[in-house]
Amino acid sequence: MSDSARSEIAAVIDIGSTAIRLVVAQLGETGEWERLDRAARPVPLGRDVFMSGSLSRESMQQAITILTGFRELLHGWQVPDNAVRVIATSAIRESRNRDTFLDRVLVRTGLKVEIIEGIEENHLTFLAVQHAVAPMKARFSRANSMIIEVGGGTTEIMLLKRGKMVAAHSLRIGTVRMEQEVRPMWSSGDQIEEYMRENIRVSQELLNSELPLGRIKYFVAVGGDARHVAHAVGVKEEEHYWSISRKDFDRYLDELQDRTVDEIVRVNNVTYNEAEGLVPALTVYRLFLEETTADELIVPDVSIREGVLMRFALGSEWAVERQFYGQVVASADNLARRYQYDEAHSRHVTDLALSIFDQLQDEHAMDRHSRMLLEVAGILHDIGTYIRASGHHKHGQYIVQNSEIFGISRDDLRIISNVIRYHRKALPNSSHVAFVALRREQRMQVLKLASLLRIADALDRGHAQRIRSVRTEIVGGDVILHCDYSGDISIERYGFDSKANMFEEVFGLNAIIS
Amino acid sequence: MSTTDTVQPRYVNRELSWLEFNARVLHQALRTDVPLLERLKFLCIVTSNFDEFFMVRVASVKRQIKNGDFAQCPSGIAPSTLLDQIITRTRELVEQKYRCLIDDVLPGLAAAGLVLRRPDEYASAQASFITKLFQEEIFPVLTPVRATEGQEVPYVTNLRLHAAFIVEPQRDANLISEDGEQATGKFLAIVQIPSSLDRIIFLPDEAGRVSFTLLEDVIVQHAAALFPGYRVVSHCIFRVTRDADMGVDEERDEDFVEAMEQVLAYREFSEPVRLSVSRGAGELRKILARVIGIDESEVFDKGEPLDTGALMGLTSLPGLDDLKYPRWPHYESPDVDPDESIWDSIRKRDILFHHPYESFDPVIRLLQEAASDSSVLAIKMTLYRTSGDSPVVRALEKAAEAGKQVTVLVEIKARFDEERNISWAERLERAGVIVIFGIARLKVHGKALLIVRREQHGVRRYVHLGTGNYNDKTARLYTDFGLLTASPDIAYEAGLFFNAITGYSAIPALNKLVMAPVGLKTRLLQLIDRETRRSSSDMPGRIDAKLNSLADPDVIEALYRASQAGVRVRLTIRGICMLVPGVNGLSENITVVSIVDRYLEHARVIYVHNGGAPELYASSADWMPRNLERRVELMFPIEDADARARVVAMLQLSFADTTNAHRMQPDGSYLPPSDTRTSKAIRSQEALQTIARERTRSTDVTNQKVFEVRRKAPRG
C-alpha cells in the first residue's frame, strides 16, 4: 500500500448466482471499512448453469453490460484498477464455459475475475462476520455457534465450539439450484419444506457428528434473504448486526409461505428476483435453526464482499491469517479428532516441527503461511492410521486431499497432503502423480516441509514425548539437534538417520542428534 | 359550489377544486392593495391557467362524456354534470376578470401614465403612425382565408388569436367569382393575427406617458384593405382552444411564470374544446361556433383584449416600479460564511435554504466551486426543466472538461422540448457528461445533487436535496426549501438513489430517504397512521403539512381517520384539495388554507408530532396519484434542530396568515382573507422575508450601536 492517504478506496464486485453486486468502501489499515457505495443488478447466471451446465449467451451479455456499468461507477470514485477485486462463486465456478466467460469479461471490461472455491467462501464470509459481531465476541467464546449462509448455488456452514472453528462446509444446496425442482410445488409451502427437509437430512447428520447441533446457542444467518427479514421484523442491536427472535422469524416465514411470488413482490416490497428465492432460502435457515437451541437469529450486515474488502485491507496473507489462524488450527484439530488420532503425539510432533522451522528460518526462508501449512500437516500426519497402519502416509494423503479444512484452499490442501505423504518412507519421484502435478515452487515447499516433519516425527518415534524440546546449532555442514529429553531415547535415535535422509537431500546439511 | 345532494360529499371534484384555485389567483388581481402591474400580472396568469385547464382537463372531461359519461372522479360526479358546472363557474370568473381589467386595472394604469388606446382614441400623430405601420409591416403578412359554407375550418390553430369578418360585395363594385358569375352574397373571412408581430404596439406620445394599442385592433381598423371591393358587415376577435395530446405534462404549476413565454402547440388541429369570442360579435358568434365545430354552450364571450396574457409584456417596461411590488432582495444565507470554504461550512452543520427569501446563488456557487476543485471526483444531479445557458449547465460542462465524472439526469418532455432543450443536453454530452434522458414510463421529479470529494481523511460526500428545481429563474419566484448536508447516511442513500436512476443498480431499499414510486406513499400513510394510533385525549396527535395539491384518495382517507381519532390536521395547500375539511364526524379536526401572494407557494413539507419526538420531512412530491405512483420522487428528513425550527415557523405563519390565506369551507368553497392591513395583520410571505432579513442582520457589524473602545477607564 502507498504511504499517502491513511485510508484508501477499494471495491469488490461479486458475480453470484442471481445477481452481480458491487461494494465500494473506504478502508482503514486494520481492516475496518466504511461502505461508500453499493449497487446490484439481477442476472440469472445460476439458473443457466444449474439447469444446463453452461452460461447462456444472453446471460453472459447481460453480465458484461452490468460489469461495464459498474466500471463506469468505479470510475466516478477513481478507484485504481489494482484496488478492484472481482470474485465469482458457484454459478461461474461450475459452468462448463467459464473460461470463455472470464476471457470475454477481461477483454470487454478489463476486469480480471477470480473464481473462489466453496471453502474459501467460508473463509471470507467468516472474516466479515467476525468483524460485524465483534461486540458479541465474549458470548461466542462461551457457547457453541453456527454461521450459515444460503446462497443461490451453495450453502456455507461453519460450526464453532466455544468460538473455535470445528467444521466448515460448502453444501450444494442453493435457492437457484433447488428452484428447478421446487417450482412445480410452489403452491404449497409445507410441501417445499418437506422436500427440503429430506434433502438436508444427510448434511445435518454430517454436521451433527462434528458438533451436536442441539447444543448450538447462537445462530448467525448471513445473506440477502436473512437481511430482508431482519429489515422487516428484526431489531438493530449494534452498528453491524440485527437480532430476530425465533418467533418473529417463524411467523414471517409462515406468512410468506402462504403467498405467491407475485404477492410477495407486492406485499413485501421486493423485486421479482428476490421474491423467487426468499421462501426456499428462509426455509433452509429454518430447517437448520430447528435443530439448534438458539432462540434468536443474529443477522450481520455483511456479506462475502466485505470479507474480500477486509482481506484486501489487511494486505499480506499473513495478516489475514492471523485473524483466524486459531480457527484454521481448530478446524484441523477437529478433522484429526474425527479420525481418532493420537493427539499427544501429533501435537508434540507439530510443536517440535514448528520449533525447528523457527530456528532454521534462515536456512529454509519460508514464510508464515508455510509455517501454518506445516502445523496443519503436523496435526494430521497420522490420521491415515484410522484406515490402516500400513501405508498410513498414503491413506492420510487421500483423506486430507478430500476433506474440508477451514481457511485452507485447494492448493494448500494439495501441499499439506503431499507433506503428509512424504512424512515417512519413500521420497518423491517422477511416478508420484500428485507430487508431479504441483508447480515447481510448491514442490520445493513440500520437500522442505516434509523433511522437517520427518525429523520431528522421528524425534517422537516412541509416541511417548520423551524428547521435550530441541535446540538447533549449525556447525560446519551439520545441523546439531540438542535434545532436552527424559528417559531412554534409543528408539528415537535408532530410526533417526533414515528419517533424516530427506533433510540432507533438501538442505544439504547433515542432521545429527546429540 | 355546493351540490344539492343531501349527503355531504366525501371528496371535492378535482376540476372544481382547481377552478377555485384559479379564483384565488383572480382574487389577487381584484385586490386594491396589490400594485397595478402586479394585478395585471395576476390577470394574465388567470388567463394562461384557463388556457391550460381547457386544453388538458376540460378536454379530458369531454372525452369522458363521449366514452360513456361514467363518473371517474372519486367525488362521483358524472362528466356531463361536471362540464356544466365547470362552464358555469368559468363564466363567472371570466366575467369578474374582464370587469377588473376594463373597469379597474386599465383605467388605473392609464391614470399612472400607461394608456391603452383604441383606434377611435388615436391622436392624429398616432393615427398616421399606425397607418404607416399597417401598410409597411402588418399588411404584407396577413393572409385572410375564406371560409367555405358548410365546411369546418380546421386551420384555426390552437390558442392563436384570429379576426373574423363577414364581408359583402360593395354595391358599385364589379366582382367576378370563380365560376365566372357575378359574385354576390356575404361570406366569412378569417385572418390569423400574426404571431410574428408584437401584439402590443407602442404609439408615439408625449413624454411621461406611454400609449399602446393592440395589433388586432389595428387590423380590424384597416380591414377594408384586405377585401378590396367588399364591405365589412361585422367582425369579431376570437380564439379556439383545442384538445392537447394525451402525453402532455400536466404539471402546469411548474410553468406558472414560464407559461407566458410558452406557446403550447400540441395537436394544432385536434378537437376544439372552447371558443372565446369578443363581445358584440352578433351573428358571428353562431356562425363561428358552427364552422369551428363547437357547441354554443361552450362559447365564451370575452371583453377585450382577448388572450389577456399578451399584456404581460407591459410588466417588464422600465420606470414603472411604483406600480409593482416593492423590491424584496434575495438574502444571502447567513449560514454560508464567505470567509470559510463551503465544504467546511456544510460539514459543520446542515444548511437549510428558504428560497426565494434566501438567494439560490450559494447552490450555484457550490456547483461552480465543485467544478473547479481538483479534489472533487464526481458530480451527479437531476436537471428537470432548465434553460440552455443556465449557470448550472455551464458549471457541469466545466466540471466534465476538468476530468470529473459528471452524471446528469435530464427530463425532456416528449416532442415539445426537443427543439429547445436537447441542444444543451448534447452539448453536455460532448463535454463528457454522462447524460441520462429519463427513465422509461416514469418521470424523474426528485431533485438531488451529489458531490464526491476526496479529502485528507478519506472520501466525503455532499448532498443537496430540495423541493424545487435547479433553475435559477424559478428560484426567484417560487417558495422552496433546499438542504445541504454531509451526513454520511443521507449521502450514502443519495448515492444509491443515483445508482438506480442512472441504471447501475436495481432499486435500493432506503431508510433515511424515501423514494416514490417504491415506498413514499407507504411511508406517508405510515406517518399519518402512526399519528392516528398515538393520538390520545391527553396528547392529541398533530399533523401540519404544506403541499401544492392533495388528490390521492388513500391519503385523504388516512387523514380523515386521523381527524376522527382526534389528531389535529392543518394543511396549507396552494392548489387542488379534494379533501373536505370541517365536516362533523368526518373531518372536523382538519383545517385547510391556501396562500396566494407575490411568490408562488411551492415547497412541500410534512410535520408529525409523534408523541413528542417530532419528525419533519420535505419532499419533491405532491400528494397526487401521479406523483406517488407514477413518478420518481424523493422525500428527505430534516433533522438539524435549527433548520427544523425554521420550517416549523413557516408552517405556523401559514396558518396564522390573515391577509393572503383563503380558508377552505366544508362545501369546497374558500373564504377569502379578511384583507385588513391593521397592525395585527399577518402576511406570511412578508413575515418570512423579514425573518430572512433579520437572520442576516444578526451577523452584521453595521448594526452595532456602540463602539467598543480601548482606553483606560475614565475617572469619575
Model confidence over B659-713: pLDDT tens digits? 999 999 999 999 999 766 677 889 999 999 999 999 988 765 554 556 656 666 6
Asked whether the beta carbons of residue A26 and residue B434 sit closer than 8 angstroms, the reply is no
Amino acid at A473: E
Instruction: Tell me the CA distances in angstroms from A267 to A487, B19, B187, B413, one per residue in order.
Output: 76, 38, 67, 33
Q: How far apart are CA B22 and CA B52, in angstroms?
A: 12
Please tell me the predicted confidence (pLDDT) of residue B244.
72
Please tell me the predicted confidence (pLDDT) of residue A31.
65
Q: Establish if A38 touches chain B: CB-CB under 8 angstroms.
A: yes
Q: Establish if A9 touches chain B: CB-CB under 8 angstroms.
A: yes
**How does DSSP assign A265-322, residue by residue?**
HHHTT--HHHHHHHHHHHHHHHHHHHHS--SEEEEES--HHHHHHHHHHH-SHHHHHH
Please tell me the predicted confidence (pLDDT) of residue B254.
44
Model confidence over B151-181: pLDDT tens digits? 667 678 888 899 999 988 887 766 666 665 5
Model confidence over B591-603: pLDDT tens digits? 999 999 999 999 9
Q: How far apart are CA B513 and CA B507, in angstroms?
A: 13
Question: Which of B436, B460, B493, B505 would you mutate first to test chain A, the one with the most A CBs within 10 A?
Answer: B505
Q: Establish if A440 touches chain B: CB-CB under 8 angstroms.
A: no
Chain B interface, Cβ < 8 Å to A: 377-378, 380, 405, 407, 434, 452, 454, 456-459, 461, 488, 492, 495-496, 499, 503-509, 518-519, 522
DSSP lists the bridge partners of residue B242 as B272
Residues of B in contact with A266 (CB under 8 A): none
Tell me how many residue pairs between chain A and chain B have CB atoms under 8 A apart. Answer: 70
Q: Which of B279, B252, B240, B261 is nearest to B102 (CA)?
A: B279
In which residue are the cell numbers 393572409 written? B143
Amino acid at B656: A
pLDDT above 60 (res B55): yes
pLDDT above 80 (res B330): yes
Nearest to A76 among B378, B496, B519 (CB): B378
Neighbours of A321 (CB within 10 A): 20
Please tell me the predicted confidence (pLDDT) of residue A7.
62
Nearest to B503 among A69, A76, A269 (CB): A69
Strand order, beta sheet including B114-116 = B114-116, B210-214, B200-203
Residue pair A85/A15 in contact by the 8 Å Cβ criterion: no
Q: Which stretches does DSSP call E strand in A317-388?
A: none
Helix axes A189-210, A317-338, angle to 10 degrees: 90
Radius of gyration of chain A (CA): 25
Asked whether the beta carbons of residue B458 and residue A69 sit closer than 8 angstroms, the reply is no
Residues in CB range of B329: below 8 A, 6 or more apart: B693
Q: Which of A348, A424, A431, A430 is nearest to A384 (CA)?
A: A424
**How does DSSP assign B420-470, residue by residue?**
HHHHHHHHHHHTT-EEE--BTTBEE--EEEEEEEEETTEEEEEEEEESS-S
Q: What is the mean pLDDT of residues B501-529?
A: 89
CA angle B320, B322, B327 (to 5 degrees): 100
Q: How far apart are CA A78 and CA B452, in angstroms?
A: 10
Q: For B518, how many CA atoms within 13 A lie in the half-sphere containing its CB?
A: 18
| pLDDT less than 50: residues of chain A | 1-6
Residue B222: active-site member: no
- What average pLDDT does chain B have? 86
In chain B, count H helices and then E strands. Answer: 18, 26
Which chain A residue is nearest to residue B500, measuring alpha carbons? A39
Q: How far apart are CA B518 and CA B151, in angstroms?
A: 52
Residue A493 CA to its chain's centroid (Å): 40
Q: What is the mean pLDDT of residues B246-250?
A: 44
At residue B76 the predicted structure's pLDDT band, cuts being 50, 70 and 90, is confident
Q: How far apart are CA B139 and CA B629, in angstroms?
A: 53
Please tell me the predicted confidence (pLDDT) of residue B545.
97
Please tell me the predicted confidence (pLDDT) of residue B704.
52
Secondary structure class of B600 (helix, strand, coil): strand
Residues in CB range of B346: below 8 A, 6 or more apart: B462, B484, B485, B486
Residues in CB range of A49: below 8 A, 6 or more apart: A17, A55, A91, A92, A94, A95, A153
> Nearest 5°: phi and psi at B482?
-135, 140
**Residues 12-31, chain A, touching B (beta carbon < 8 A):** 19, 22, 26
Nearest to B506 among A37, A72, A271 (CB): A271
Phi-psi map region of B68: left, alpha, beta (phi>0 left; psi -120 to 50 alpha): left
Residue pair A289/A250 in contact by the 8 Å Cβ criterion: no
Please tell me the predicted confidence (pLDDT) of residue A514.
79
At residue B616 the predicted structure's pLDDT band, cuts being 50, 70 and 90, is very high
State the catalytic residue, choosing from B162, B445, B609, B662.
B445
Asked whether the beta carbons of residue A9 and residue B459 sit closer than 8 angstroms, the reply is yes
Amino acid at A509: L
Q: How far apart are CA B240 and CA B243, in angstroms?
A: 10
Residue pair B578/B567 in contact by the 8 Å Cβ criterion: no
Q: What is the mean pLDDT of residues B358-382?
A: 93
